[in-house]
Structure 1
Amino acid sequence: MKKHIPIKKFSQNFLTDFNVIKKIVKFINPQLNDILVEIGPGLAAITRPVCDLINKLIVIEIDTFLLERLKKCSFYPKLIIYHEDALEFDYLKLFHKKNKLIRIFGNLPYHISTSLILHLFKRINIIKDMNFMLQKEFAERLIASPGSKLYGRLSIISQYYCNIKVLLHVSSKCFTPAPKVESIFLNLTPHTDYFPYFTYNTNVLSYITNLAFQKRRKILRHSLGKIFSEKVFMKLNINPRLRPENISILQYCQLSNYMIENNIYQKYVFT
């Protein structure tokens, strides 16, 4: 096949290390009855071995050249191909069509990682699990704990929705072209039987965390002062002199629920 030149605007770095590919497929553990969706199959490094284990694989690819390349592969009859942006794909329609939870995996380009993961969280009820290759710093933001410099809004929203597990650390040398950063392969499994956190409305939680971390160097009394008085912080047993990265997910949920229970959220969130 004609050699593919990576397209910079799509942040294409193709996984080429056979041992890493083998481990990733084992972690994904494809089953015959799974509704599997691969985002960005690229040069089919993971696509091919997954297709060896199942009968049908749904792939979403934006690069026309790569789609044409897939059509020449021996496993092409097993593919259901969508030439779309993963941010525009109708996951809900797929769920209703199959009437089964979806499993999603892929090597995510850095420039869409945040948008795509937040987009998928809005459809979390139709997802069984997600397995993604992510740039190391981005992955570390997802799993960061309070007190960490990487802990922020993305950490809170991600851990609110999912149990997140690091499966594999991947060297930049395992990709072509080699990126300037290392990568991590993560599993995100939505909370089902046990929900560690609760808020009445995730839009309110998102609003509060966004507001707090816009001014992450300021203490809560200043960054969230227009919503919560010092008296309210003390009532909820939250120190108003702490910075946003020192507040737990549970405490952010408390703030979110206070806004809803006291009917003050509409003034800020929905105006």
Structure 2
Amino acid sequence: MIIKKYKKFFPLKRYGQNFLVNQESIQNIVKIINPKKTQALLEIGPGLGALTQPICEFLDKLIVVEIDPNILLFLKKCIFFYKLQVYCQDAVSFNYRNVLCSKYKYIRIFGNLPYNISTSLILHLFQYIDIIQDMHFMFQKEVAKRLVAMPGEKYYGRLSIISQYYCNIKILLNIPPQYFKPIPKVHSIFVNLTPHTNSPYFVYNINLLTSITKNAFQNRRKILRHSLKKLFSERDLIKLKINPNLRAENISIIQYCQLANQLYKKNK
């Protein structure tokens, strides 16, 4: 069914449209999301409805955010369109608080994301973490690896730290390129991000954590006493039991949080 729909539609390169067409993967994803009528669900980039249609079967209403008006014209012809609450907007600047009504306290978000916006979208969504129950997204394999990377690993960086600060992250499914139309040049991974209920991390000011990690990883080949010298003296680092001769990728999230809190206290 979804392959027939694809043949009638021309994906736009500027929106990074690669539509999931493998039925088994679609069924597995819907089963993992496990939508309930008592929940508010929002899909980012419904595309040709591969996930939209089966998820609508479990719901009275599904919120969708889609930037491409041609996709929305396509969806208007689908039998499930009456169940959609549509926002024709850019997901990276969308205000997710606007979709919640008094009936729901939290929202569940999912989507097969265009790879060119996935990192900026995730960082945008963290601004709404207090109203998000969970998120399920299809990412480019490299992005997924960055999300779950640990200190010392190749993909460990700012995205790893900020994402794991907010969420517990699990890799769920590996999806090969041939499961999409048009076929992308990369492998994909379906990922769950669930906000911490009892977070292992704490910072007084998240902007300081962002700033410190930016400084550290912009100069990731430099050791910390050089990359962070504008923010911390070598003595400051030693006092926090952080080796000033280590590089950015060797410092744990807890240690970055300690640095952020130390800077907060210094600036008070």
Range of TM-score over shorter length: over 0.9
- Matches of 1:227 and 1:215, distance apart in 2: 14
State yes or no: 1:231 paired with 2:235.
yes
Q: Percent identity?
A: 60
**Offset, 1:227:** 1.3
TM-score, with structure 2 as normaliser: 0.96
- Matches of 1:168 and 1:59, distance apart in 2: 23
- Matches of 1:174 and 1:231, distance apart in 2: 53
1:137 aligns with 142
1:171 aligns with 176
The SS at the match of 1:262 is: helix
**2:202 maps to which of 198, 203, 219:** 198
Amino acid at match of 1:188: L
2:20 aligns with 15
Amino acid at match of 2:192: N
**2:222 maps to which of 210, 218, 224:** 218
State yes or no: 1:120 paired with 2:125.
yes
1:189 aligns with 194
**1:243 maps to which of 243, 247, 250:** 247
2:9 aligns with 4
- Matches of 1:157 and 1:87, distance apart in 2: 17
**Offset, 1:65:** 1.3
Report if aligned partners of 2:43, 2:62 keep a CA contact under 8 Å in 1: yes
State yes or no: 1:111 paired with 2:116.
yes
- Matches of 1:230 and 1:65, distance apart in 2: 56
Amino acid at match of 1:226: K
**Offset, 1:88:** 2.4
1:63 aligns with 68
TM-score, with structure 1 as normaliser: 0.95
**1:180 maps to which of 177, 185, 193:** 185
**Offset, 1:71:** 0.6
Amino acid at match of 2:237: F
**How many residue pairs align between the two structures?**
263
For 1:63-99, what per-residue CA distance to the aligned partner results, in whole angstroms no more than 9, with x for missing partners?
A: 1111011111111111111111112222112235544
- Matches of 2:103 and 2:218, distance apart in 1: 40
1:160 aligns with 165
**Offset, 1:209:** 0.3
**Offset, 1:154:** 0.4
Q: CA RMSD in A?
A: 1.1
**2:94 maps to which of 77, 89, 96:** 89
- Matches of 2:265 and 2:13, distance apart in 1: 48
1:76 aligns with 81
